[in-house]
Amino acid sequence: MTTLRIEHEITDLDTWLTAFGRFAEVRTNAGVRAERLHRPVGNDTFIKLDLDFDDEQAARAFEHFLRTNVWSTPAASPALAGEVTTEILEECLATSV
């Protein structure tokens, strides 16, 4: 499992969630297997999103799509504020308690 972690500031969570929802089918078609959205406690203007893929190639391809087609277009990312940082992570250990 490979995870594309995305972090950035937002102006408004509801606006961001609406825009995020418009790309649900695109994420599925790109191979996203699971998604988790977090924000730091006490910080309503920052998000951390993890998108899981089967492999690194799919994660990198989707990151490229986001950079060239979503984050570069204000209409496609209306609540985006500041710089987006990304990281490709590979799973080392998965446990359940």
List per-block mean pLDDT (blocks of 10 residues) for the chain, which spans 97 residues. Answer: 97 95 97 97 96 98 97 92 95 85
Dig out the tokens for 60 from the structure: 């990198």
Strands 80-90 and 46-53: unpaired
The reported pTM is 0.92
pLDDT value for 35 = 98
pLDDT value for 69 = 95
Q: Which of 12, 24, 27 is nearest to 80 (CA)?
A: 12
E-assigned strands of 33-79? 34-38, 46-53
Q: Which CATH class is domain 2-90?
A: alpha beta
Q: Which of 42, 41, 37 is nearest to 8 (CA)?
A: 37
**Residue 89: left if φ>0, alpha if ψ -120 to 50, beta else—which one?**
beta
